[in-house]
């Protein structure tokens, strides 16, 4: 298994440009997540999905959009890039584990380092 | 409300000496707790997890953590630090939310420096 893969690894955007960060997992996980990591802030949840066709906002969703048309893919869209979106973005996935099961670990991709200037 | 506090943003130890990374949590329910490690420019990797079985949890690379409900703590330890342990460590708490989904909160991380 390749696990969770993300593309691109690095990207520089100009203010106002748009882009899509790609995330794919081959573990048949229902849950998928997008986080951003800023120095000293830990990881903040942007959006998550509990299955194809179902997405919901996390802690910091403004300026981002997601879709989940397949189990494998969970792209993150930035429509009008702003300097505040300079960050490292991580995609993660996990198994469902059944009702009431919250003890399954997340599997992380290698990250996308985005700079907006 | 769910929260995680990592008490030290930086910890520096000499190679071969013990490591202690401190984590306190707050949770309304019986949470699951995790420690992840992130090496420079890499993704996060699971070190260990507590899931209401044994309170002393052993993980990879000689790390272990003890769940102490009375102290709401989940500190990470290792008897002897190795140079390859230099990384950033994240404590994570997970519980169900009102929608029946998993709510996950990350601590702000502790950077471990190992001095030769």
Three-state secondary structure call for residue A85: helix
CB-based contact A42 B44, cutoff 8 Å? no
In chain A, whose CA is at the least distance from the CA of B42? A110
Work out the minimum CA distance from A47 to partner chain B, whole angstroms: 12
Question: Which of A102, A109, A110, A113 should be substituted to probe chain B, the one whose Cβ sees the most B Cβ atoms within 10 Å?
Answer: A102
Whole-number mean pLDDT of chain B?
90
Nearest to B107 among A35, A42, A103 (CB): A42
Adjacent-strand bridge partners of B64: B58, B77
Work out the minimum CA distance from A113 to partner chain B, whole angstroms: 9
Query: What is the rounded distance in angstroms from the CA atom of residue B63 to the CA atom of residue B77?
Result: 6
Query: Given pLDDT bands bounded at 50, 70 and 90, which one contains residue B29?
Result: confident
Q: What is the pLDDT of residues B64-114, one digit of tens each?
A: 999 998 999 999 999 999 999 999 999 999 876 655 567 788 999 999 999
Checking if the pLDDT of A101 tops 60, the result is no
CB-based contact A103 B49, cutoff 8 Å? yes
Query: What is the rounded distance in angstroms from the CA atom of residue B55 to the CA atom of residue A7?
Result: 39
Whole-number mean pLDDT of chain A?
91
pLDDT reported for residue A96:
72
Checking if the pLDDT of A83 tops 80, the result is yes
CB-based contact A31 B102, cutoff 8 Å? yes
β-bridge pairing B110-115 and B10-14:
parallel
Is residue B95 within 8 angstroms of chain A, CB to CB?
yes
The 3-class SS string of B5-70 reads EECCCEEEEECCCCEEECEEEECCCCCEEEEEEECCCCCEEEEEEECCCCCEEECHHHCEEEEECC
How many Cβ atoms from other residues are within 10 Å of residue A90's Cβ?
25
């Amino acid at each position: 298994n390749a696990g969770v893969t993300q593309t691109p690894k690095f990207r520089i955007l100009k203010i106002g440009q748009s882009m899509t960060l790609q995330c794919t997992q081959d573990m048949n996980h229902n849950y998928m997540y997008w986080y951003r990591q800023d120095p000293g802030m830990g990881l903040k949840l942007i959006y998550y999905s509990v299955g194809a066709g179902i997405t919901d906002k996390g802690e910091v969703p403004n300026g981002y959009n997601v879709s989940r048309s397949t189990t494998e893919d969970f792209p993150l869209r930035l429509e009008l890039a702003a300097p505040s979106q300079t960050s490292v973005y991580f995609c993660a996935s996990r198994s469902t584990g059944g009702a009431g099961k919250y003890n399954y670990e997340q599997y992380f991709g290698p990250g996308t380092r985005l700079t907006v200037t | 409300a769910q929260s995680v506090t990592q008490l030290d943003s930086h910890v520096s130890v000499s190679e071969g000496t013990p490591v202690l990374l401190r984590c306190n949590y707050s949770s309304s329910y019986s949470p699951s707790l995790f420690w992840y490690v992130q090496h420079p420019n890499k993704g996060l990797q699971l070190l260990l997890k507590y899931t209401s079985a044994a309170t002393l949890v052993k993980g990879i690379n000689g790390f272990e953590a003890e769940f102490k409900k009375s102290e709401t703590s989940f500190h990470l330890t290792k008897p002897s630090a190795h140079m390859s342990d230099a990384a950033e460590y994240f404590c994570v708490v997970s519980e169900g939310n009102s929608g029946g989904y998993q709510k996950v909160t990350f601590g702000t991380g502790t950077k471990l420096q190992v001095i030769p």
